[in-house]
Amino acid sequence: MSLPDPYLPGAVSMLDQLDKRLMVVLRDGRTLVGFLRTIDQFANFVLGDTVERIHVDKFYGDIPRGVFLIRGENVALAGEMAEMDNPNLTRVSVEEILTKQDEKREAKMRKDEVKNRILEGKGIVQPKDNLFEDQF
């Protein structure tokens, strides 16, 4: 009777994913798709043939990035991808997806402004996200 291979916790468990296509979601919300070329003990990744995938509603676009070095502390999620295309999403050009992303960001900012004005009228002040934006 043979015992199963022991599970190795941490970054070393990603060694099985070498030369496979990974989707990596970073802490800042960006999504990268590429082939895992190497990994170290700090979970720093090097992805090859990398694209930055931008999702907006039911659309997505890929921006080619090439070789990408990712610090392990910035990885929120990493997993193997079986297929590159998702049948539930429509692929659009880079320019179109960036336009859609800007439109969605502006709509969210307008919605947040209205919400903050209502809250300020009731005496609740929300902290500004871009508090130090005008300092540079």
Domains by residue range for the chain, with CATH: 11-121 (2.30.30.100)
1 pLDDT exceeds 50? no
Reported for 50-55, long-range contacts at CB under 8 A and 24+ positions apart, including other chains, are: 53/23, 54/97, 54/98, 54/101, 55/31, 55/89
123 — alpha (psi -120 to 50), left (phi > 0) or beta?
Answer: left
**Whole-number pLDDT of residue 8:** 63
- Report pLDDT digits (tens) over 37-70: 999 988 899 999 999 999 999 999 999 999 999 9
Is the full-model pTM beyond 0.85?
Answer: no
Query: What value does the mean pLDDT take over residues 10-39?
Result: 90
Give percent above pLDDT 70 in the chain.
85
CA of residue 100 relative to chain centroid, distance: 17
